[in-house]
Structure 1
Amino acid sequence: MALRAALLSSLLLLCAVRRFGLCCPSRCLCFRTTVRCMHLNLETVPAVSPQTTIDLRFNKIKDLQPGSFRRLKNLNTLLNNNHIRRIPRGAFEDLENLKYYLHFNNIESLEPESFTHLPKLERFLHNNRITQLVPGTFSHLQAMKRRLDSNSLNCDCELLWLADLLKQYAESGNAQAAATCDYPSRLQGRSVATLTAEELNCVPRITSEPHDVDVTSGNTVYFTCRAEGNPKPQIIWLRNNALNMRDDSRLNLLEDGTLMIQNTRETDQGVYQCMAKNVAGEVKTSEVTLRYFGAP
């Protein structure tokens, strides 16, 4: 009789969440709607009931599949201290109550779509191997507090958007949000929030400027303009504050930024200016003049 009671008790414990659609995963501990699967060397995410709160910390999960946590709306703590390398799109859909996330993993890169519809996500990615973050990665994380430190962030011009975001957090009173540089060596340990476009040589810098030109009818004119910056700046030419090169086949922008005007006419005369522009800013040269003298 006692043996029968023990077996019945074990069965009830294993299937505590059967009424929600699934039994307790093997070796996990289940109580009502809580499933604890810590320290089990799991390599995949087990299937559980949609009403379940599952704890998967301290395992060996490496890969996630889209929809791995679909409908787990009660989940608030997820996958810290695993071996996760990447996050596919849709891996965390429906986790509207998720707060604590993916710290102490092996994540190297992220996609912006990984973090949509996670309004309560606060602290999540410290102690990983992230080197780069694309603009917009955290644009949906209204509750983000911390943190991105202890990664391998390469602090270059591509990370300026994160510096601006962290400054906004600090100004709004959220000083906990933090990220530090790992590369290059001169910036190692530096707070990303303190980076400027100037010290990273991101803002365009003019290296060769155009000069005034005198021209007669039918000749070819070259206005030189070269610039450096990261990312490489776009060269834009202005004439009397506007220049539409698409409507005139005589106007050509050469690969090095030089403006070439073929078969010059009287209508070409005026004031010209070169502008170099990228995401970090823009800079203009001094104005120069094309003077037209008609026939030779």
Structure 2
Amino acid sequence: MSAWRPGSGALSSPGTGSWSWRCWWWWVVVIGVSVGSGDPWMSAEACPSFCSCSSTRISCVDPERGINAFPVLQSEAEMENITEIYIANQGSFSSINDKDLHYYKNLRNLTVTNSRLTYVSKLAFQNNIKIQYLNLKDNNLSSLSWRIFKHLNISYLILTGNPLHCSCENMWIKLLLGEEADTQELRCIEDGGGRKLLSRLTLPNCEVPMATLTPSKVRLREGKNMDLSCTTSGVPSPELIWNMVLVSNYEIETSGQISWLRLSNLSSLDHNSKISCTAENIVGEKESSLLLDILFPPKITKLSDAIPDHHWCIPFSVAGNPAPHLQWFLDGEAVTEGAYIMTMIHDVTEREYHGCLQLDSPTHLNNGRYTLLAENEYGTDQKDVEAHFMGKPWDEGPTVDPPEDRVAVYVVVGIAAVAFTGFLLMLVILKFGGNSKFGIKGKTLHFYLHW
């Protein structure tokens, strides 16, 4: 769908300068379709004039107003929303460089077809890990490195119509596509100029590299030393690369296609850490790896105050290998776990166990000092924490009203006392008012006559 551009005349009535009812109706229909599809047009200012854009797609297919690089939108946010780019018939489009697609982080489908594409950088898609569909059909590619796709999970790769050389550098394409290479009728050009099905390509001195790590397993006590060796093979001769992140001390010695990794004073912090050696050449790569299995005594890294949740929980974290046995004590007495109090493990990481002592509706009987004891064959560790869930019923004193409530009570009592006193005075007046001795009756009558 093409974006409307100011001055295009698409919505103007000739001669009058105003929009006719037909133009209004056309505009309503277009807006309705755009909104209904969930893929509205991008503003003309945001989309390059030589392309057409929606909120998620860019299409550049006009051969007369060609492009020589990927279009750049006005903002990074707009580029991050793009999931598909379609480029075709561009005679000046020759390369995909390191930063060309840097801001198109959510790009999933990329098509560059029937153009003059001759070069794709090894870092071309370093920021486009979501790409699944890549169509580079009918271009001018003679070779393509496997390293371009090393970090991607491509589902569809289309390379038909490119003058690929029958070289060792392109052997990985045959290995990757398998039978799909025949489905695409993918061919390569031999030195003599003849074309050959890529699926039938065989070359001397062109082998996938191999790597073998010895020993294949490591299970050692914390503080020990050990050596690992990696042997590689392949043609051309592969590069050998060690890859690890360790706290333990290590040194690397390499001689030809054999390399030694010397580990010293193994740290428990490296338990379950990955060590890999990789062999790489132009045909591809092969990795051999292991996880360090380091034995060490338990260490309680966290024991926190009890917190109320759906149940009460005393949180803890414990490291140890092998997995430590956990025992709880309340004021020195072993806690018997059951339906209402139990140890729960919620998460296990490379070297730690995270959980809580769960208590269901604890009472004052559960108050006290809790001790967590962690133990395995290499040692023990323990920590204490105070927990208070409920006060003892017989320790609870009379409820004391807040100051505001006491003032309110005093006011009400005062009003009631005044009213009661007035009521008593009225009774006295009524009782003795009929006695002439006091003259109350006559004076009262005279008062009413005066009024």
Give the TM-score band, short-chain normalised.
0.3 to 0.5
Q: For the pair shown, which has the larger CA radius of gyration, 1 or 2?
A: 2
Higher relative contact order (CA 8 A, sep 6+): 1
- When the two structures are superposed, what TM-score results if normalisation uses the length of structure 1? 0.48
Q: Could you say which structure has the higher helix fraction? A: 2
- When the two structures are superposed, what TM-score results if normalisation uses the length of structure 2? 0.33
Q: Could you say which structure has the higher strand fraction? A: 2
